[in-house]
Amino acid sequence: MKNINITVKKNEEKVVPYIWINGSESEINFDAELIGEGANLTIIGIFIGKNSDSVIFNTNVIHKAPKTKSMTHIRGVFYDKSIFNNDGMVHIAKGAKGADGYFASKILLFDDAKGRSVPSLEIDENDLKAGHASTVGRPDENQLFYLRSRGLSEKQAEKLIVSGFFEPTLSMLSENKQIEIRQNLLKNL
């Protein structure tokens, strides 16, 4: 089990990526606290699971100060018999006026892979913004057909769709990090 603790102070801005490609950790817990006014945190989780990989990924983000902002973005692609389990908590504590917490996850499943992603909100303040969006699904048949009609094999089509699937999330990272992760992805799709 791996525990990652993050503290974001007044007017501080942090982007914390967690990349799990060919990973070995089976359970990862993110605990983040936004303790100073104007603290801003982006958590990015990128996952590719294969074979009998099994990953538990939990994020727990607590807004303790006013005008704090958090975004949790998770994208995962799972093949074979791999399993993904994700719980995402956003907690807006009393006094965190004007806080803005958001959780988004998109999980793409192939073969016999299984995935679960459940966001939850805990709110003890009235003046706030919070939201979540989660989808767990299979590759789009129409997209596959469109690409195959242009001569791509099913595998090539899947690969292209998956590489595009990560793009919106990658674009939130620094240029160097993007290049590093893209190379890693290419090797593992």
Partner 1 sequence: MNNSFVIKNLESSVGGKEILKGVSLEIMPSEIHAVMGPNGAGKTTLVMSLMGNPNYKFRIQNSEFRINGEDMFNKTSEERAKNGLFVAFQHPIEIQGVSVLAFLRTSYKALYPQEKIPLSDFKKQVVEALKMVNLDEGFMQRSINEGFSGGEKKRMEIAQLLVLKPKFAILDEIDSGLDIDSLRIVAKAIGGAVKKYKTGILLITHYQRILYYLKPHYVHVLIDGKIKKSDGLSLVRKIEKGGYAAV
Asked whether the beta carbons of 37 and 66 are under 8 A apart, the reply is: yes
Query: Is 151 a binder of partner 1 (CB under 8 A)?
Result: yes
Query: Is 134 a binder of partner 1 (CB under 8 A)?
Result: no
**Part in contact with partner 1 (CB under 8 A); list of ranges 43-51, 89-97, 123-131, 147-155:** 147-155
Query: Is 164 a binder of partner 1 (CB under 8 A)?
Result: yes
Other CB atoms within 10 A of residue 54 CB: 15
CA 22 distance to own-chain centroid? 16
Query: What's the Rg (C-alpha) of the chain?
Result: 18
Query: Is 51 a binder of partner 1 (CB under 8 A)?
Result: no
123, 165, 172, 184: which one contacts partner 1 (CB under 8 A)?
A: 165
**Part in contact with partner 1 (CB under 8 A); list of ranges 49-57, 79-87, 163-171, 175-183:** 163-171
Q: What is the DSSP letter of 110?
A: -
Strands (E), the chain: 2-8, 13-21, 27-34, 40-49, 54-63, 69-78, 83-92, 99-109, 114-123, 128-137
Query: Is 161 a binder of partner 1 (CB under 8 A)?
Result: yes
Query: Is 110 a binder of partner 1 (CB under 8 A)?
Result: no
* Chain contacts with partner 1 (rule: CB under 8 A): 140-143, 145-154, 156, 160-161, 163-168
